[in-house]
């Protein structure tokens, strides 16, 4: 979503850093381009104006101009001010006695029902017991849609058909949650094409009857500045505690995400990044700012990687590596992990300079290759696996025969193993390679923890 903007900003900054010392005119010229890029990304013009003013005030300050790296200082200021514009890191408020009521509101098709299921999924992962409530009695298929999702993720759905008024259904659901020890109640309310009084009254009534801790507006990022206007209006009428910006995976220009907090004062809490029930990201302003400025969203990438990788095993391998005991069995385990990582290689690319590294580290191990590798390693004796240097020509022939492979294949595997061993050793002695390497190693081997 931010690709275009990101590309433009990066070229502005690389132009700056080619200059060495900066004059006030240099800064102004750069900021003019930044301003244009933001406007083209559909950021609210008032937000842009304010942003540029704040950056300029700091950037033409004597300290920056006299520093040895004025361009970097300017980028740093832009980064900090972008974070300030995006807002604070805001979490769901699940304090106080349960059940906690979370009310989802928004226009038709913005993603309320889908995000009720996404939230239920992530909250349950966090140890909650969610109950979803079909409070959209208006659209004929709405109840069934939520029930289907509920079955998919195995979360119960409270519904009373389409004859009972939604505020009543919601009140009943909260009562049921209290009696049956559900800890979170997610209210999936009806949407309209446009904001109208009838909808607002209904929502106000639901709110009065259920006293939600959170009223989250689900808003479609693809609608750009309209999303900002809608958020402002919902906030005035119903009162919001947070926003879920959806369809961020689409080709929206990013303006809504950058402006909405600033214009409405309501924090973004989540980003919807796909149709599936796990396509939900917690919103971190600092990470998004880094991503927009091309600094790489390291933390998100690492979190994803940690989700995929087997922690305990990684830890074990990390310790072995440190002691120089990494052997062929670990190699096999590690390749299996790397295969799982395949799906996140795109994410690792978010880290500057990481793509070259992962190109070396994460060979595209296919299912078939994995089978061959396993067969070869399984045909070795424990001694050979632990100390492959003892594998001479006759042992290679035996291993090839035992695994139904050829000596060439056995040789290939041993070469690969040595390469990986060398690479990992280099990374353990991080030093000159800097934090990126240590970070990746920590991720792979648990050494940073």
Judge whether 47 and 259 are in contact, CB under 8 Å: yes
Q: Choose which of 111, 224, 255, 294 interacts with ligand GTP (CB under 6 A).
A: 111
Which residue, 247, 251, 252, 301, is CA-closest to 274? 247
DSSP 140: T
Q: Return the residues of window 180-239 that contact ligand GTP according to CB under 6 A.
A: 191, 218
CB-based contact 209:171 (threshold 8 Å): yes
Nearer to ligand GTP, 279 or 357 (CB): 279
Extract the tokens encoding 373: 């590798």
User: Of 93, 105, 116, which is closest to residue 207 (Cα–Cα)?
Assistant: 105
* Residue 80 contact partner, candidates ligand GTP, Mg ion, none, CB within 5 to 8 A by sort of partner: none
- Residues contacting Mg ion: total by CB under 5 A: 2
167 binds ligand GTP (CB under 6 A): no
By the rule CB under 5 A, 113 interacts with Mg ion:
yes
* DSSP character string of 356-369: HHHHHHS----HHH
Interface mask (CB under 5 A) for Mg ion, residues 183-212, using x and -?
A: ------------------------------
CB contact at 8 A, 255 and 43: yes
Note whether 321 and 445 are within 8 A (CB): yes
User: Residue 134 contacts by C-beta under 8 Å, 6 or more apart in sequence?
Assistant: 142, 143, 146, 147, 157, 158, 159, 160, 169, 188
Torsion on CA atoms 366, 372, 378, 381, rounded to nearest 10 = -120
Comparing CB distances to ligand GTP, the nearer of 138 and 395 is 138
Going by their DSSP bridges, the two strands 184-189 and 157-158 should be labelled as unpaired
The listed partner (ligand GTP, Mg ion, none) that binds 42, CB under 5 to 8 Å by sort, is none
Residue numbers 91-110 binding ligand GTP by CB under 6 A: 106, 108-110
According to the binding rule CB under 6 A, does residue 275 interact with ligand GTP? yes
Between 57 and 196, whose beta carbon lies closer to ligand GTP?
196
Name the binder of 261 from ligand GTP, Mg ion, none, CB < 5-8 A by kind.
none
Q: Closest separation between CB of residue 187 and ligand GTP, Å?
A: 12
Q: Which does 109 bind (CB under 5 to 8 A by kind): Mg ion, ligand GTP, none?
A: ligand GTP
Is 131:156 a contact under the CB 8 Å cutoff? yes
Residue 108 interacts, among Mg ion, ligand GTP, none and using kind-specific CB cut-offs from 5 to 8 Å, with: ligand GTP
Name the residue number minimizing CB distance to Mg ion: 113
Contact (CB, 8 A) for 86 and 170: no
246 binds, among Mg ion, ligand GTP, none (CB under 5 to 8 A by kind): ligand GTP
Span of 9-17, 29-37, 104-112, 167-175 interacting with Mg ion by CB under 5 A? 104-112
Q: Does 136 bind ligand GTP (CB under 6 A)?
A: yes
Distance CA 121, CA 278 (A): 7
> Can you tell me which of 267, 272, 294, 446 binds ligand GTP, judged by CB under 6 A?
272
Residues 395-424 within binding reach of ligand GTP (CB under 6 A) = none
Q: How many CB atoms lie within 10 A of CB 328?
A: 22
Evaluate whether 257 touches 266 at the Cβ level (below 8 Å). Answer: no
Which among 76-84, 270-278, 322-330, 391-399 is the span making contact with ligand GTP, rule CB under 6 A? 270-278
Q: What's the min distance (Å) between Cβ of 113 and Mg ion? A: 3
Question: Which range binds Mg ion by CB under 5 A, 4-12, 78-86, 110-118, 255-263?
Answer: 110-118
Nearer to Mg ion, 113 or 235 (CB): 113
Integer Cα distance of 21 and 139 in angstroms: 62
Asked if 153 is part of the footprint of ligand GTP (rule: CB under 6 A), the reply reads no
Distance CA 391, CA 413 (A): 12
Return the number of the residue (134 or 344) whose C-beta is nearest Mg ion: 134
The least CB distance from residue 84 to ligand GTP, in Å, is 26
Out of 34, 59, 142, 321, the only residue in the binding site for ligand GTP (CB under 6 A) is: 142
Question: Judged by CB under 6 A, how many residues of this single chain contact ligand GTP?
Answer: 22
Q: Does the protein bind ligand GTP through residue 122 (CB under 6 A)? A: no
Across the beta sheet with 242-246, what order do the strands follow? Answer: 157-158, 130-135, 184-189, 100-105, 214-220, 242-246, 268-272, 280-282
Say whether residue 249 binds ligand GTP (CB under 6 A): yes
Strand boundaries in 117-267, DSSP class E? 130-135, 157-158, 184-189, 214-220, 242-246
Instruction: Catalog residues that contact ligand GTP under the rule CB under 6 A.
Output: 106, 108-114, 136, 139, 142, 191, 218, 246-247, 249-250, 272-275, 279
């Amino acid at each position: 979503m931010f690709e275009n903007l990101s590309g433009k900003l990066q070229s502005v900054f690389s132009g700056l850093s080619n200059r060495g010392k900066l004059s006030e005119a240099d800064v102004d010229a750069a900021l003019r381009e930044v301003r244009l890029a933001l406007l083209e990304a559909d950021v609210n013009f008032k937000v842009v104006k304010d942003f540029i003013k704040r950056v300029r005030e700091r950037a033409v300050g004597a300290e920056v101009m006299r520093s040895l790296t004025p361009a970097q200082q300017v980028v740093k200021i832009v980064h900090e001010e972008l974070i300030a514009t995006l807002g604070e890191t805001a979490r769901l408020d699940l304090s106080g006695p349960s059940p906690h009521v979370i009310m989802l509101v928004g226009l038709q098709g913005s993603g309320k029902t889908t995000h009720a299921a996404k939230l239920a999924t992530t909250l349950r992962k966090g140890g909650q017991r969610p109950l979803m409530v079909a409070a959209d009695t208006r659209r004929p298929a709405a109840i069934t849609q939520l029930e289907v999702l509920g079955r998919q993720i195995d979360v119960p759905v409270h519904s009373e058909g389409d004859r009972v008024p939604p505020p009543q259904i919601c009140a009943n659901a909260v009562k049921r949650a209290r009696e049956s020890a559900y800890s979170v109640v997610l209210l999936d309310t009806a949407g309209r094409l446009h904001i109208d009084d009838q909808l607002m009254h209904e929502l106000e009534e639901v709110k009065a009857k259920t006293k939600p801790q959170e009223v989250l507006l689900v808003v479609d990022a693809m609608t750009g500045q309209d999303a900002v206007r809608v958020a402002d209006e919902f906030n005035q009428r119903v009162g919001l505690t947070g926003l879920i910006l959806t369809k961020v995976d689409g080709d929206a220009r990013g303006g809504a995400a950058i402006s909405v907090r600033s214009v409405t004062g309501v924090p973004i809490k989540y980003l919807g990044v796909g149709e599936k029930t796990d396509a939900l990201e917690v919103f971190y302003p600092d990470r998004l700012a880094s991503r927009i400025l091309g600094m790489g969203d390291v933390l998100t990438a690492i979190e994803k990687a940690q989700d995929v990788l087997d922690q305990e095993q990684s830890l074990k391998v990390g310790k072995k590596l440190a002691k120089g005991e990494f052997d062929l069995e670990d190699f096999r385990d590690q390749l299996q992990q790397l295969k799982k990582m395949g799906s996140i290689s795109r994410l690792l690319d978010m880290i500057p300079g990481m793509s070259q590294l992962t190109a070396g580290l994460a060979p595209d191990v296919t299912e078939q290759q994995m089978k061959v590798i396993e067969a070869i390693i399984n045909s070795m004796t424990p001694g050979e696996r632990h100390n492959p240097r003892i594998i001479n020509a006759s042992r290679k022939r035996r291993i090839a025969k035992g695994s139904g492979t050829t000596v060439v294949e056995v040789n290939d595997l041993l070469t690969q193993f040595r390469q990986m061993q060398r690479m990992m050793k280099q990374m353990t002695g991080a030093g000159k390679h800097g934090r990126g390497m240590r970070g990746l190693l920590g991720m792979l081997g648990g050494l940073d923890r």
